[in-house]
Every structure is written in C-alpha cells, then in structure tokens.
Amino acid sequence: MEKILILDFGGQYNQLIARRVRECNVYCEVHPYTISMEDIKAFSPIGIIFTGGPGSVYTANSPQVDSAVFELGVPVLGICYGCQLIAHHLGGQVTPAQDNSAREYGKTETYYDVSSPIFNGLPEKGISWMSHGDYMAKVPVGFQLTAHSAACPNVAIADDERRFYGVQFHPEVNHTEHGTDMIRNFLYEVCGACGDWTMADYKDTAIRQIREKVGNGKVLLALSGGVDSSVCAALLAEAIGSQLTCVFVDQGLMRLNEGDEVELAFSKWSMNFIRVNAESRFLLKLAGEAEPERKRKIIGEEFIRVFEEEAKKIGAVDYLAQGTIYPDVIESGAGTAAVIKSHHNVGGLPDYVEFKEILEPLNMLFKDEVRQLGRELGLPEYLVSRQPFPGPGLAIRIIGDITKDKTDTLRWADHIFRDEIAKAGQDKLLSQYFAVLTNTRSVGVMGDGRTYDYTLALRAVTTDDFMTADWARIPYEVLDRISVRIVNEVRSINRIVYDITSKPPATVEWE
Ligand code: XMP
C-alpha cells in the first residue's frame, strides 16, 4: 500500500492534513518529528509531509528534523513551520516577521505559479489561510518561488529536481480555496500515488490481520452501542465469528432508555452478547469526584475491571477489543500536540490490564472512514450515522460531582432536547447535540415561589470531523419550545442557556 508519512511538529491542524490525504485515497500516518531514520525507512513512505507547529525554526530546542530525511530521495511537502524547516535546513533563512510587514494571520489573497506541480490546474489567484509570525527571508539555493501575497513575496517554494515543496499557508483547512487539490497534486503529480486506499480494501485487510493475530483465541469487545464500537463489533464478528463476545456495560451514565435500545439492537445479531448493569459500582467510584480528567480515568479503569471480571467468567480470553479511532489516539496525547482530554478508551486505560493484548482495529481510521467501513460491512444506516456519544457518558456532561439525582435530571432534560430537535426536523442538520448539567444554581420564580435550582446548558454543533466545530444556529422558536418544556417537566432546573462557542476555542463536550 502507498503510504505518506506526516511528521508532526505540534501544529493544531495536523489531523486535518491526515484527513485530506486519506480523502485523496492515499493512506497516511501521523508520527512525532522525533521518529528515528530507521523507522522512517521501515515505514517506506512515497512522500513525507512536515506539519505546521508553534515553534520558530531558528531558536534553540525548536523541533527539528534529521537532515538525512532530505537524502532519502523521497518527495517532501512542508506546511507553514514545515516549509520554514525546509528553508532553514537547506541553506535559506527564516526570521521573525515582526522585523518586516510579512506576518500574516487569516484569509489572504494569494497568487500562484500554476506551472508548478503543486498548483497545477488551479486558478492563478485564490484565498489561502495564513498563520505565521516567522518569514522566509532567504529562499534556499535550487528553489523557485511559486506563490506570493501582497504582504509576503515568499509564500511557496519548489525544487522540482529534488521534489521538495513548501507552502507558508495551510492547504489542509477549508478556508484555503483548492487546498485539497494542492495536497492531491503533491500526492499524485509529485509522489506518483495512484490512490489505493479504499474502505473495501481496508475491510479485507483488517479481517485478514485480525484472523492472523487472534488465531483460535477468544476476544471480548467493549461495546457501547455507539458508531465506533458497533462497527468494530461487525468487523470482528465477520473476522472471528463465535470467538467474539460483546460486553455492553450499562454504567448508569447512558441516555434515557439507551441501555435497553442497545440490548435490543445487538441481541438480534447472531453474536455472543452480554449486558452488565453496573450503575451502582460506577456511581460509588465517582462519588465526590469533580475533576474532569480524574472522572475520565476512574471510568476508564472501572470499565476495564468489569471486562476483566466478565473475561474470567467466559474463560481463556486473551484479547480485549475496543472501538478506539484515530482522533481518540491523537487527542489523548500520542503525538506531540498537547493532551486535550484523555479519551476513556485510550488515555483513560489503567496501567495494568489483565488481558494479553488490546485490539483496536479502527485506531487508524477517522470517524467518516469508520462510518464508511460500517456501510461496507452492511450495518444499517441508523447505526452508522448516529451522533457520537462519549464512552464516559453523562459523567462528562455533569459539571462537578456526580450523583444519581443529577444523572436522572440530566437524562430527562437531554431526552426532551433530543425529542424536540427531532420533531423540528433539525436532527439531520446537526452533527451532535446534547444537554449539560452545570453546577451553577441561580434564583428563579415558579408559581408564586422562589426557586434556587440548576442551570442547564444546551449544546449543538455542526462539524465534518469533530476536530473543529461550529455552534449550530437552531431556530429561536425551537429553542424556546425546548426551554419551556424542560423547566416545566424537569425538577431542579430553572434556567436554560445555549452554548454559542465553537471548537476551538471550546471543545464539543464541556469536560
Ligand atoms: P471534544 O469534546 O474533544 O469531542 O471536542 C470531540 C468528539 O469526541 C467525543 N468524545 C469522546 N468519545 N470517548 C469517546 O468515545 C471519550 O472519552 C470522548 N470524549 C469526547 C465527543 O462526544 C465529540 O463527538
């Protein structure tokens, strides 16, 4: 399979680069810039992309690349910081842009040399997304300038002979017009890709690899009923049939009726399915804990302990399988980017786990690829296109400590929110929507009496990839109906607010 290596220098859009490459039907992986030359050679990429990053290439301790990477004969595309790295290593000069007027942030009119392979077939002028405080003051010998803007003469560089390319802007973000086409040009025109990354192939390869690895062994799958673990169940079921047991743990933090719905859906499949009702033990472990990361870790650990117990009952289970996907891995701090949240099924894992190995057959896939794989495996559309629900469940939607009363309150409020959204036909327009129980109480008046109750926040976003998201513009009249119903029907909530922050700077979930 053709592979692109993405070297991660800590930029915030690194996952987007990977997504764009995959969208062009070329497989890629993101690795930290510290990866060794031997590992790079073993990976055997047809091309390498250097990501952006917050550093300055000329400062001591800034992330650097081993110069030997330029001797491999493999094409390189440097993006933003990555472009400056190419210049810095190959004899150019990068300086702080405060010294001149060339620092640029945001949408910038940019002029391209369309005879360069990267800009081949594109308009000569377009908007690009810039975000740089440094500037390539001197272009390295052997390189041509291939793009400029009003403020900056050196926006893109190219050495066609050695096949090294650099762009100062971010082609991976949607704000850059034709950005994906530029990446596609790099892959197809420069690296000679033919595009062999398809879900049908991935399915066959994954099934083969699972069979090889598991042999006659037994696998226990942690099934939550969400898209990822459902697709994982279907994949494993196809690969190893009755050697698989799916264990669904109802931790008491599911949405209204969700436990029964998951049980109903999966008990229809011909697979070993076990439901464990574990509400009280989870609530006991979480009692009094208000810190978001600790809540996640407690839940992660408790899940594993339940799975270990179930595995003992089944006997001789070597593997624990989870529906971890690539963004979970990256956001939990596998790369060089800061840890945002410990996803319960990655960073939330306890140090010691009583299984021979953890199987995560989806851990290199993005969400939309997982959905595609689900369709490829013949899963029904309602399962494949469900909105995501986080493994730690309502625990990370209750701010502060968690009690049974609070989970019941949130469950009802969330149910009403989702019910009204569906009635208004808004559900197809939203990527994710849910209620959050804040720990703020405020004064209200109901009937003729004073109330002092909780504030509920409504959250709804639209997004392609959950890495960035916009808050959704739900019509006021729908919000109004939701608000009236919740304060009337749910005890202990007397105020509703709507979250109007996008991601970044906020995240989708509140914790
Ligand atoms: P954030 O809050 O990081 O959420 O912007 C991005 C997406 O990830 C989901 N999410 C999780 N999913 N385990 C999961 O399976 C987790 O621990 C977890 N935390 C967040 C979130 O619902 C959103 O879709």
Of residues 488 and 329, which shows the higher confidence score? 488
**Which of 172, 360, 369, 376 is the catalytic position?**
172
Q: DSSP states of 45-63 as a string?
A: -SEEEE---SS-TTSTT--
Q: Residue 246: which of 276, 228, 211, 271 has the closest Cα?
A: 271
**Probe target for ligand 1 pocket from 229, 509, 510, 511, with the most ligand atoms within 8 Å of CB:** 509
Q: Of all protein residues, whose CA lies closest to atom 21 belonging to ligand 1?
A: 390
Q: Which atom of ligand 1 is nearest to the CA of 348?
A: 17
Does the CB atom of residue 390 touch ligand 1 within 6 A? yes
Binding site membership of 295 for ligand 1 (Cβ less than 6 Å): no
Which single residue is written with the structure tokens 């091309």?
47
Q: Tens digit of pLDDT for each residue in 169-196? A: 999 988 899 999 999 999 999 999 999 9
Q: Is the Cβ atom of 459 under 6 angstroms away from ligand 1? A: no
Which residue did the predictor score with more confidence, 467 or 235?
A: 235
172 counts as catalytic: yes
Average confidence (pLDDT) over 243-258:
96
Alpha carbon distance 243, 323 (integer Å): 17
Lowest mean pLDDT among 268-272, 316-320, 372-376: 268-272
403-430 confidence digits (pLDDT tens): 999 999 999 999 999 999 999 999 999 9
431 neighbors 421 (Cβ within 8 angstroms):
no
Dist. CA 388 → ligand 1 center (Å):
8
Q: What is the DSSP string of 155-194?
A: SEEEETTTTEEEESS-TTSTTSTTHHHHHHHIIIIIS---
pLDDT in tens, 31-85: 999 999 999 999 999 999 999 998 899 999 999 999 999 999 999 999 999 999 9
- For residue 226, the ligand 1 atom closest to its alpha carbon is 15
Q: What is the DSSP secondary structure assignment for residue 287, as one 8-state letter?
A: T
Is the backbone of residue 273 left (phi > 0), alpha (psi -120 to 50) or beta?
beta
C-alpha 509 – ligand 1 centre gap (Å): 7
| Res 11: pLDDT | 86
Pocket flag, ligand 1, residue 341 (CB < 6 Å): yes
In this prediction, residue 336 carries a pLDDT of: 52
84 Cβ contact list (under 8 Å, min separation 6): 57, 78, 94, 132, 134, 136, 166, 168
pLDDT digits (tens, 9 = 90+) for 86-137: 999 999 999 887 655 656 777 889 999 999 999 999 999 999 998 877 888 8
Q: Pick from 466, 503, 510 the residue to mutate for probing ligand 1's pocket: most ligand atoms within 8 Å of its CB.
A: 466
Which of 24, 80, 152, 232 is catalytic? The answer is: 80
Predicted confidence band at 152 (pLDDT cuts at 50, 70, 90)? Answer: confident
Nearest to 503 by CA among 346, 323, 331: 331
- Cβ of 238 less than 6 Å from ligand 1: no
* Confidence band for 341, pLDDT divided at 50, 70 and 90: low
- Rounded distance from Cα 53 to ligand 1 centre (Å): 24
Q: How far is the CA of 303 from the centre of ligand 1 (A)?
A: 17
Cα 295 to middle of ligand 1, angstroms = 14
Q: 468-484 as b/e, with b when 16 or more CB fall inside 10 Å?
A: bbebbebeeeebebbbe
How high is the pLDDT of residue 461? 97
Task: Compute the distance from residue 464 Cα to the ligand 1 centre, in Å.
Answer: 14
Cβ burial of 85 (10 Å; 0-12, 13-18, 19+) is buried
Q: Atom 7, ligand 1: which residue's CA is nearest? A: 466
**170 is annotated as an active-site residue:** yes
Q: Whose C-alpha lies nearest to ligand 1, atom 17?
A: 343
Centre of ligand 1 to C-alpha 208, Å, is 30
Residue among 299, 341, 370 to mutate when testing ligand 1 (max atoms within 8 A of CB): 341
Provide the 3-class DSSP secondary structure of residue 418.
helix
Establish whether residue 386 lines the binding site of ligand 1, counting it when its CB lies within 6 angstroms of any ligand atom: no
Element (H, E) at 357: strand 357-359
pLDDT in the model for residue 13: 82
Give me the mean pLDDT over the 362-374 stretch: 91
Which residue minimizes the CA distance to atom 9 of ligand 1?
390
pLDDT above 90 (res 229): yes
Is the pLDDT assigned to residue 447 strictly greater than 80? Answer: yes
Q: Is 152 a catalytic residue?
A: no
Other Cβ atoms within 10 Å of 382 Cβ, number: 8
- Note the pLDDT of residue 348: 61
What domains does the chain contain, in order, with CATH numbers?
Answer: 3-190 (3.40.50.880), 199-384 (3.40.50.620), 397-498 (3.30.300.10)
Give residue-wise pLDDT tens across range 202-212.
Answer: 899 999 999 99
Reported as type and span, the H/E element at residue 411 is helix 404-423
Q: Residue 223, Cβ neighbours under 10 Å: how many?
A: 26
> Do residues 349 and 448 make contact, with C-beta atoms less than 8 angstroms apart?
no
Q: Is the CB of 499 under 6 A from ligand 1?
A: no
pLDDT above 70: residue 343: no
Per-residue pLDDT, 464: 78
Phi/psi of residue 207, each to 5°?
A: -60, -45
